[in-house]
Amino acid sequence: MSDEHERTAGGAILLDGNRLRDEIVVQLRDEIAALGSPKVCLATVLVGGDKPSQIYVRMKQRKAEEAGLAPRHVELPETATQAEVETAVQALVDDPDVHGILVQLPLPDGLDPEPVLARIPPAKDVDGLTERSMGRLVRGLPGHVPCTPLGVMRLMERYGIETAGKRAVVVGRSTLVGLPQVLLLGRKGVDATVTLAHSRTSDLVEVCREADIIVAAAGQARMITADHVKPGAAVLDVGVSRTEAGIVGDVDFDAVQAVAGAITPMPGGTGPMTIGCLLQNTLAAARMLGAV
């Protein structure tokens, strides 16, 4: 890790997701321009009026435009039926001008996301969340990797955090983040030795203190304290909790940054990287489909 990077008050390198996402946007814009500016389409599907989902989808569309992609948006009311949602997604699947499809989760109560996601073929599944995409990740086959754990990997690459031969602990076992994160860290070429921990791990402090890399993704506000962190470890915070004090992560940032060697801010760390990797996956999808 070099000394050119911004540091926290405690001296930890700040893993700046906003900065890296913006670098990715510029890189994609240049790449698409060099290809002759083909229309690479990312379609987003939003059902209902959930405010955080609306904000997040708008941000994805805005960054897609900045990157030279051609975003398309499909919005359905809270009252949409299961069949209506599946029909809307199927229309995007069948459209050769659409290269990537993202269904914003969670869906409103009463709708089952699984049959909706199951309609998306692996090449267009830029979120990497269908069972076929997850199976490809497990099998080491080509496909799209879930954007949040991929964003964690991109941040570590960008800031020169060594993974080979290092011990990593992933706290959280969701299919969105925890499980794919374990697979990515243990992959050949990354070569970390990975432990999967969670809220029921009885000796969590001891397990985490052995780690050179901690990825906190349990969704429990400030559960990772300075006691959990070996001096000099890299700490990447994926958890998001809405509290009266605002949005906080799984990591007690102020305490941990005094001990860690590198740390993500919250917000501005892994969240922006999720969008950056979504845009990269969309260009990769267009390539898989032979559109560019």
Residue ranges per domain, the chain? 36-121, 147-271
Confidence of residue 243 (pLDDT cuts 50, 70, 90): confident
* CA 260/CA 30 separation, integer angstroms: 35
Q: What is the CA radius of gyration of the chain?
A: 19
Between these two residues, 3 and 179, which has the higher pLDDT value?
Answer: 179
CATH class of domain segment(s) 147-271: alpha beta
pLDDT score for 291: 94
| Predicted confidence (pLDDT) at residue 242 exceeds the cutoff of 90 | no
pLDDT in tens, 172-220: 999 999 999 999 999 999 999 999 999 899 999 999 999 999 999 999 9
Helices (H) and strands (E) in the chain, counts: 10, 11
User: What value does the mean pLDDT of the chain take?
Assistant: 96
Beta-bridge partner residues of 40: none
DSSP 12: P
pLDDT score for 2: 44
Q: Do domains 36-121 and 147-271 have the same CATH topology?
A: yes
Confidence of residue 45 (pLDDT cuts 50, 70, 90): very high
Tokens for 149? 């754990």
* Confidence (pTM): 0.94
Burial call 131-167: b when 16+ CB within 10 Å, e when fewer: eebbebbeeeeebbbbbbbbbbbbbbebbebebeebb
Catalytic residues: 60, 104, 127
Tokens for 161? 């955090």
pLDDT score for 246: 83
| Predicted confidence (pLDDT) at residue 280 exceeds the cutoff of 70 | yes
Q: Say if domain 36-121 classifies as CATH 3.10.50.40.
A: no
Q: What's the CA angle centered on 146, arms 141 and 151, to 5 degrees?
A: 115
* CA 90/CA 120 separation, integer angstroms: 8
